[in-house]
Amino acid sequence: MFHQILNPAHNLALTAVFALIPFIILLGLLAGMRVTAWVSTIIGSVVTLFMAATVWKLPVSMAFHVYILGSLTGFWYIDWITFWGVVIFNTLMLTGVFDIFKTWLVGQATQDIRVQAILLAWSLGALLEGLVGFGYPWAVMAPILVGFGIVEIDAIRVAAIANNAPVSFGALGVPIIALAAVTGMPLMSISASVGKIVALLALVPPWVLIYLVTGRKGFRDGWPLAVVGSLSYILGQFPVSQWVGPYLPDVSGSLVSFICLLLFLKVWRPKHILGFGGIELDEVVATKNDDVSLTKKDIFRSWLPFIVLIIVVVLWTGPWSPLPKIAWLVLAVKGISSISHQSTTVDFTLAPFVGGTSILFSWLIILLFLRPKLRVIGQVFQKSLYQMWGAILVGFFIFGLADVFNFSGMAASLAYTFSRVGPAFILLAPILGWIGVALSGSNTSTNAMFGLMQLLVGKILGFPLLLLPSLNSVGAEVGKPIAPQTASVGVSTSKYVRSEGQVIRHNLGWTLVVLAWLIIVGLIYFLLMPGTMG
C-alpha cells in the first residue's frame, strides 16, 4: 500500500512550489498561451504524473492505475450528464420549442429595463446555466438585452453578472458532482452545503443588475423587483439543493423565479418606467411583444420539457430512489494519507443508473411528446458532438490529473503549507476558487483541482468539514465573468469575438464586489453558523 510523503523536498516552501508546478503549467497554457483546454489537460496530466512519480515517489504503475480510474469517473459521472443536458437543449432549439418559450417569456416583460434584466438575464439565464452552462447564458441573453436597448458590452456584463449565483449547480449539477468525487464527501452533503452558501450569495446579484441598467435611480421604486427576484430564485433553489440533490436547483430556481415574478408583475409595476441608463420613458407599454400571438397549446408545449425533466430527475436521483445505488463494478486503489495517517482511496464505480442516465431517460420521454423527425434527431446529435467533444475530453483528462495529484500526496503537501496561514485562510478559500476559474474557465475543473486541498486545509485547521470546499465552488462561480474560456463562448453572438479581453476587463470590478460579499458569507457561516457546514 502506498504511503504519501508530506514534505518530500525537506523544505515546506520548496515542496509547495513543486506541488504547484502542474497547476502553474496547466493554467499558464490555458490563460497565458491560450492553448486548447483538452490539449492543456493532457500536457498537465503528463507533468502531474512525472511530479507524482519522481518527487512524491508514487509507483508508475499505480499512478497510471489511479489516472485511469479518475478519467473513467470524469467520463461517467461528469461527461455523461453534460452531454445529455446539451442534447436536451439542442432538441428544444432545433424543434423550435425553446424559441417559443423565449418569445413567450420576453413578451411578459414590460418596457422597464429593470424588469427585463431580472426576468430574462437573471431567471432565464439561470435556466440556461442549469441545462447547459459553458457560457451559453451569455451568448443567448446578450442579443436579447441588446434588443431592449442595452449597449452590447453592457448587455454581456449584465448576462455575466446575472450568471453568478447559478454556476455551482450549472450543467445539471456537474461542479457539485465533481467536488463530491474528489473529496469523497457524500453528494447530498456537498449539494446542501453549497446550496446554503448560494442562497445567501443570491441575495445580491439582482440589486447589482438594477444598478447596472439604471444606476442608483433604479432603486427608488424598483427595489421590490430585486427582493422578489432574489427570494424567488432561492425559494426554488434552496429546498432542492438540500433534500433532492445537485441536478436541478438551477432549473427549479429559475422556474419558480419565473412564476413568482410574473405573478408579482400582475399586481405591481414600478411608478416610473425606466430605459437603459435610467432614462425615464414617456409611456408604459404593457408588453414588449403585443403582436406575438401564442396559443395556450404553444405555451404548454414550451413548458412541458422542463416539467418532464424535473419529474424524472427528482424521482430517479432523489434520496428515496434505489437506482443510483445500483453498482455493477467497483475498482479501487488504496493508500495511506500523510495527514490523517488513515486509508485514502481512489475508486471508480460503474453505476449504470447515475444522474446522466436519468437525463437520457428524460430526453427520451421529451421525444415522445415533441415527436421530432429522425432528421432533426440526427442534427441534434451532430450539433451536440460538435459542441461537446472538447469538453468531454477535458472531463476525462482533468479527473485523471486531479486524482493523481490527490492520491500521490501533492494535495496534502499543499494543504499542509496553506494551513500555516491559520484561521485567516477562511478569507482565502473563496479567492482561490475565484482565481482557479478565472484561469481554467471551468467551475468543474477548479473543484477537481482544489476541492480536496481545501478539504484537507479545513481538517488541519479544525474548520467545519464542508465549509472550505463549498466556498471554493462558489468562489469559482463568482469568477466566471472573467474566465477566458467562458467569455469566448459568451461573446460568440456579439461583435466582441476575439476581443474577450475587453469584456473581461469590463466585468472585473463587479466580480470583486460579489467576491467581497461571498467572503462575508463565508465569515457568517464560520463564526455564526458553523454547525450547518459539518
Identify the pLDDT of residue 290.
47
pLDDT confidence of residue 517: 97
pLDDT at 30 (0 to 100): 78
Cα diameter, the chain: 76
- In the predicted model, residues of the chain with pLDDT beneath 70 are 31, 282-292
Q: Note the pLDDT of residue 289.
A: 46
H or E segment and range at residue 200: helix 187-201
Q: In whole angstroms, what is the distance from residue 342 CA to residue 361 CA?
A: 40
CB 319 within 8 A of CB 188: yes
Q: What angle separates helix 467-478 from helix 425-440, to the nearest 10 degrees?
A: 40
* The pLDDT value given to residue 319: 85
Host H or E run for residue 330? strand 329-336
Each residue's pLDDT tens digit, 145-201: 998 889 999 999 999 999 888 888 998 999 999 999 999 999 999 999 999 999 999
Neighbours of 517 (CB within 10 A): 18
Question: Parallel, antiparallel, or unpaired for β 329-336 and 2-3?
Answer: parallel
Tens digit of each residue's pLDDT (9 = 90 or more) over 23-33: 889 888 876 78
How many DSSP H helices and E strands does the chain contain? 23, 3
The DSSP result for 50-70, as a single string, is: HHHHHTS---HHHHHHHHHHH
> 336: which strand partners?
3, 343
The set of residues, in sequence order, having a beta carbon less than 8 Å from that of 520 and lying 6+ positions away, is none
Give residue 292's pLDDT: 58
pTM: 0.89
CA atoms within a 13 Å half-sphere pointing along the CA-CB vector of 105:
28
Burial class (CB in 10 A: 0-12, 13-18, 19+), 248: buried
Question: Which pLDDT does position 288 carry in this prediction?
Answer: 47
Residue 343: strand pairing partners: 336
Distance CA 281, CA 140 (A): 26
Determine contact, residues 215/277, Cβ cutoff 8 Å. yes
